[in-house]
Structure 1
Amino acid sequence: MLGGTGWVGRHIVDALRARGDHVLVVARHRAPHVPEGMFRAFDLATATPGTIADLLRRTRAGVVINATDGANTNDGWDRPESALARVNVHAVHCLLAGIGLLRRRPRLVQIGTIHEYGPVAPGTLIDETVPPRPSSVYAATKLAGSTAVLEAARSGAVDGLVLRLANVCGPHPSPASFPGKLLRLVLSAGAGAEVTLPLAAASRDFIDVRDVAVASLRAADAGATGRALNIGSGVAVEIRDFVARFLAVAGLRPGALNEEQLPVPSMGGDWVRTDIRLAEQLLGWRPQIGLEDSLREMWEAARPGSHTEVRPSARRAGR
């Protein structure tokens, strides 16, 4: 599991372990929630095809799920183009080359983003036939990495899929994500602080991170290869409505945050609604966790004094 210490990677690892798989978490630094015995310090951004092949050979990897991202919790999302390209493009090419050196090649699941498609007209249902036209450097580098995986799979050099994730929500959000920032502000407001939340006039498709984990496991087990699949809820939610729902589950009044309408920088457009029918067809996957439950469990996992255990997803993942 490459990038298994991040928000999405953490939940994929939990789902793999819950169904009994042997998991090796590979990242630059171990996170507190990762047991030492299942962690390997390894920087994919500076690795060579040879060192990657050696790692995969020695660990006898049967599946590689790549959730590394140039925009991450440790380094932040405001990253220079060179840093994004090093992780999102160069490292993916090295990973593919490393897999190509192996006699027994593992299956590859590449975690991409819905922002690879770029802005679309409001009301558009984004399916996999929409031509990618990324509008940010981040999205462009993610698309380049996804394209490399798809081209390698279609040529027979690798066996694998790309999952393009909608906006993720749910327990243990990355502090750099919108849910993570919102959670921090709500905790401050609950402690009596006066906080202001900048809001964009936008609608997003939110998918619980544990449903993403189930989709990743299904992709690891599936027979399909060389395809990009959208992973989302299929519903567009106004950002203001998203905030109101979270305030409700946190037990705060609607005006607890001072909302300020501002143009908020985005990695994609102002409208996202995914068509997830291809993922259902090829993976037998559909989201199971509704937005209210996702927000409630995100709050319960983070509120002061909470010892709530996040419910696992592996029971829905299959084999």
Structure 2
Amino acid sequence: MRVLLLGSGGYIGRYVADHLLADPAVQLTELGRGDTADVRFDLSTGSPGALTRFLDAVHPGVVINCAGTTRGGARELTRHNTVAVATVCESLRRSGCGARLVQLGCSAEYGPSQPGSSTAEDAIPRPGGPYGVSKLAATELVLGSGLDAIVLRVFSPVGPGTPPGSPLGRLADTMRRAMQAGDHELRFPGLGAQRDFVDVRDVARAVHAASLSAAQGVVNIGTGRAVRMRDAAGVLARVAGFGGALHDVEGHPLRTVPHPSGPSGLHSAGHGRGEHGPETPAGAVGYAYPDGCGSWQQADVRTARDRLGWRTRIGLEESLADIWMEAACRI
């Protein structure tokens, strides 16, 4: 199977590339803006005609689009997340390769959801910020393109290589600097928010499964379990050996020992369709979590299980340990 991977230099794209390269049945070509790509091409500025000629020359059976950005203003987000996808769709329509498109979307397209609930693919999207809007517009372009296409709405990806600008990446870096400085008090915002954290290596497996399947439309990629940031932070502190006190921005102390609700120390509020809601209102610290999704997000992952045969394999504690290992290397 010949696969063209767009955005191979990004956080998720790197793991998708590694996973595909491990499959001897895959012939992989990487296209992106970085020097490591086989072919350099900027989707946000390149013409559909140029990409069409490349598609006709390479003739892939599958095109996987991991390209995009999470930072910048509305104009930059639109250019990299929406205009780029319009270029991909138009090029595939013009090309004679007939490739299947696997587009990476994100949970920010849904926006805030009711605490205790699980968000299914038929939920009405209400993105809470320009990033989610730009990604939702890309999804609508793909779904309306008439192509053989699937959109994977990835919830909160974590694991090795987690960007330092993401909440857990920033927390690990903050903890590293506190330990370097000998600080025993660490304050961090947004610890009341609850998110569905999915390991980036499991996401790469989902992308591979989607490329082989006949499924179309939108498919959620998550664990089906929302975890409080304060519980994730407590496990990260234990993994790191940080014995000090962690506080949220409102000054409420955070225990740095595992929560008694489970062997991993991660308290999950809600499973499957979200039968069990949170014990207290999430996000009570009054912090606006940066993804525009409010205090709670949890995926309904039944479609991924039923249509892709995909389930997560890597637990959050392992993901956090790998995040800390990378952060510790910078000490």
TM more than 0.5 = yes
Instruction: Using the TM superposition, name which of 203-212 and 257-266 deviates more.
Output: 257-266
Measured after TM superposition, the shift of residue 305 of structure 1 is 8.0
Alpha-carbon deviation of 1:265?
4.0
Question: Are 2:75 and 1:82 aligned?
Answer: yes
Percentage of matched positions with identical amino acids? 35
Structure whose CA Rg is larger = 2
Q: Does 1:243 align with 2:233?
A: yes
Report the residue type matching 1:115 in the other structure: A
Matches within 5 A, 1:211-230: 211-225=202-216, 227-230=217-220
CA contact (8 A) 2:109 2:132 kept: yes
Q: Which of 31, 35, 38 matches 1:26?
A: 31
One-letter amino acid of the counterpart of residue 316, structure 2: L
Residue 191 of structure 1: SS of its match in structure 2?
A: helix
The answer to whether the 8 Å contact 1:70/1:86 transfers is no
Match for residue 10 of structure 1?
14
Counting only pairs closer than 5 Å after superposition, residues 17-56 of structure 1 correspond to structure 2 as 17-20=21-24, 21-30=26-35, 34=36, 39-56=38-55
- CA distance, structure 2, for counterparts of residue 150 and residue 277 of structure 1: 20
Please report how far the alpha carbon of residue 164 of structure 1 lies from its aligned counterpart in structure 2 after TM superposition: 0.4
Mapped pair 1:281 → 2:306 = yes
User: Cα offset for 1:45?
Assistant: 0.2
State the match for 1:266 in structure 2: 290
In the aligned structure 1, how far is the partner of 2:180 from the partner of 2:69? Answer: 33
**Normalized against structure 2, the TM-score is what?**
0.82
Q: Give the Cα separation in 2 of the matches to 1:197 and 1:26.
A: 38
Instruction: Give the 3 Å change call, closer, same or farther, for CA 305–183 of structure 1 in structure 2.
Output: closer
- Which residue does 1:170 correspond to in 2? 159
1:200 shift after superposition: 4.3
The answer for the alignment partner of 1:74 in structure 2 is none
Q: Specify the alignment match of 2:143 in structure 1.
A: 150
Aligned pair partner of 1:136 in 115, 125, 129: 129
Deviation per residue, 1:58-100 (Å, 9 max, x gap): 22322111111232xxxxx2x1111111111111111101011
Q: 2:194 aligns with which of 175, 178, 203?
A: 203
CA displacement 1:39-59 (0-9 Å, x = unmatched): 221110001110111222222
The count of residues paired between Structure 1 and Structure 2 equals: 288
**Aligned residue among 137, 149, 152 for 1:160:** 149
Quote the offset at 1:193 in angstroms.
5.1
Aligned position for 1:313: none
The one-letter amino acid of 1:23's match is: L
In structure 2, the residue matched to 1:310 is none
In structure 2, C-alpha distance between the alignment counterparts of 1:55 and 1:302, rounded to whole Å: 39
Aligned AA (1:69): G
Distance across 2 between alignment mates of 1:66 and 1:212: 13
- Partner SS, residue 14 of structure 1: helix
Q: Does the CA-based 8 Å contact 1:17-1:23 persist in structure 2? A: yes
Q: Which one has a larger percent strand, Structure 1 or Structure 2?
A: 2
